[in-house]
Amino acid sequence: MTDRRTPDDTTRKATFREIVEPEIEVMLRVAFSITSSPADGEDLVQESLLRAYKALDRFDGRHPRAWLLTILRHTNANMHRRRRPGTVGDWEVIRSAKPAFGRSELPSAEDSVIDLELHPALDAAVRALDPRFRSALILVDVHDLSYAEAAAVMGVPVGTVMSRLSRARDRVRKALRATPLTRGDL
Amino acid sequence: MLGTLRQMLTCHWSARRIQRYLDADPAARLTPGETSRLEEHLATCERCAEVAAENRALHRALSAWTGMRSVDPRSVDRVRSFLSTIDDEDPR
């Protein structure tokens, strides 16, 4: 069996691998928080990587993590759009989806359901946030994404991330005023 | 009176920059002048210093949230294997 790959193909594949490998873990972490399921999160990452590979020629080489996370967000939206109610799995997802501020569609990056394993007071304060604010907080403070990377995941400008983050932190901070968290010994 | 007003304005100015100061994000860095002015204010204003301390504590607590941060190494391995599949099949 002969290898039909050209030197260009080989270079392209090596470049792709070089870009993706350092970002696998962060992609998985973000995907898990969007889907709330390791299996779905892996599927989302794999589908995103296929799309990224096809789009590699249009990538300018700058900010690979933000580029991959943007593809992850679009892929997640497209995967949900593709689903059609009718299968048992879909109805289970719909029934178990927690409505957020009156919304009842399938979870998006912004209103992902999160399994909290935090100090109960912090857990309650984070859960009480508007999903848009919660996403900013989780992406930056839990996943350590930069403002630009969080903006890529949320599909909003960096300024919006900053303002949502600020409001999220203010609300959580004020909710925790009487807890050990504010004394820094949580 | 003038001193109180100046203090209030400085607190307001500082409140708008504490997040950027603590995060030091490349997209929104403070200038060296802003950093010095803010640090001077935090050294003398108890209320703003408390806000900064609470934000630091909150970030520490959320960073330590291992349930969200840890990824099963087997998941990473599976995605790595998947990358090899892309190499083999070339989905273009």
Least confident of A8-17, A92-101, A165-174: A92-101
Q: Please give, rounded to a whole number of angstroms, the shortest distance from the CA of A5 to a CA of chain B.
A: 9
Tell the CATH topology of A9-85.
Rna Polymerase Sigma Factor; Chain: A (1.10.1740)
User: Would the pLDDT of A87 be above 70?
Assistant: no
Model pLDDT for residues A29-75, shown as the tens digit of each residue: 999 888 877 888 999 999 999 999 999 999 988 889 999 999 999 99
Interface check for B76 against chain A (CB to CB < 8 A): the answer is yes
* Residue in this structure with the two tokens 């290898």, named with its chain if needed: A3
Q: Under CATH, to which class is A114-185 assigned?
A: mainly alpha
Residues of chain A within CATH 1.10.10.10 domain(s) are: 114-185
A142 CB neighbours in chain B (<8 A) are: 62-63, 65, 68-69
Interface touch B76/A117, C-beta < 8 Å: no
Residue A185 is predicted with a pLDDT of 46
- Mean pLDDT, chain A, as a whole number? 76
Q: What is the ipTM of this complex?
A: 0.83
Residue A111 is predicted with a pLDDT of 39
Whether B21 contacts B30, CB under 8 Å: yes
A118 CB neighbours in chain B (<8 A) are: 61, 65, 67
Instruction: Give the closest residue to A145 by CA, choosing from A19, A27, A22, A16.
Output: A27
Query: How many whole angstroms separate alpha carbon A4 and alpha carbon B73?
Result: 33
Interface check for B30 against chain A (CB to CB < 8 A): the answer is no
Query: How many whole angstroms separate alpha carbon A108 and alpha carbon A36?
Result: 11
Interface check for B62 against chain A (CB to CB < 8 A): the answer is yes
Interface touch A173/B79, C-beta < 8 Å: no
Helices (H), chain B: 2-15, 18-23, 32-44, 46-63, 66-69, 73-89
Q: Write the CA distances from A34 to A38, A44, A132, A146, B68, integer angstroms.
A: 10, 9, 12, 17, 11
Query: A–B: how many Cβ contacts below 8 A?
Result: 118
Model pLDDT for residues B67-77, shown as the tens digit of each residue: 666 788 999 99
Model pLDDT for residues A112-148, shown as the tens digit of each residue: 434 444 577 888 888 899 988 998 998 999 888 999 9
B73 CB neighbours in chain A (<8 A) are: none
Residue A118 is predicted with a pLDDT of 55
- For residues A36 and B41, which has the higher predicted lDDT (pLDDT)? B41
Q: Please give, rounded to a whole number of angstroms, the shortest distance from the CA of B69 to a CA of chain A.
A: 6
Residue A3 is predicted with a pLDDT of 55
Interface check for B23 against chain A (CB to CB < 8 A): the answer is yes
Model pLDDT for residues B10-39, shown as the tens digit of each residue: 899 999 999 999 999 999 999 999 999 999
